[in-house]
Amino acid sequence: MLKTFDAHGHLPSTDAHLPDHPRVVCGTCEADWEAVLAHAASDARVLPMLGLHPRQVEAASPEWADRLESLLRDHRTGVGECGLDFARKQTDRPAQEAAFRLQLRLAHRFHRPVAIHAVRCWGRLLRILQEEGVPTAVALVHAFSGSPETARQLQALGLYLSFSGRSLEAGRAQEALRAVVGPRLLLETDGAGDLDGVLTTAADLLGVPMEELVAQTWENARRCFKECLA
């Protein structure tokens, strides 16, 4: 039986059928961090990550960073989902960047992998990663939607790139997929759809056998998330 790994997802609905493969479940705000930890405690296949999503930054409490630091100290989780999202004109970009930098520093301090959300922010993302440094426990950009050139730049910094079924609907992401070297590729559901469908789509776009892609992404995920799997 092929071993599959979902590199990015979220808390399932109460009546959802839970998949039987290992998967990352990300928290996005203070309100769901404890639920993510409880979900992981109830299912050994779940790898939890806790973070403040860029769209949640403006609503966060003044204590969010202290609380996140405390949870990271007490639990072996990754950091994320965090990052930058400049899709909305009214976005408080300085606040998002400050929150992202803080979470990168926490990942450095606790030696944890980071799951990055990035929308219409590629120049700033690259600059911040260059200034702060990529955490030694690695980082990934989930649901990657950038250009092939951006994909190459992020890989040069040591990042993994993860693609979801939805992100692979776009032609640019399909081109970027082909620009990812095998050891840096991850696949995900982003909490929606079926992982087998994502694998099938990616294998077709890359022109590789399904078994080869499954084996490659399994090993990549084990390497990417090793600090949380120990």
For every residue of 87-152, DSSP letters joined together read -STT--HHHHHHHHHHHHHHHHHHT--EEEEEES-HHHHHHHHHHH---TT-EEESS--S-HHHHH
- CATH architecture, range 23-229: Alpha-Beta Barrel (3.20)
Local confidence band at 1 (pLDDT 50, 70, 90 cut-offs)? low
C-beta separation of 24 from 115 below 8 A: yes
Question: Domain limits of the chain?
Answer: 23-229
| pTM for the full predicted model | 0.96
Q: Over the stretch 19-59, which tens digit does the pLDDT of each residue have?
A: 889 999 999 999 999 999 999 999 999 999 999 999 999 99
Residues with Cβ within 8 Å of residue 60, at least 6 apart in sequence: 29, 30, 52, 99
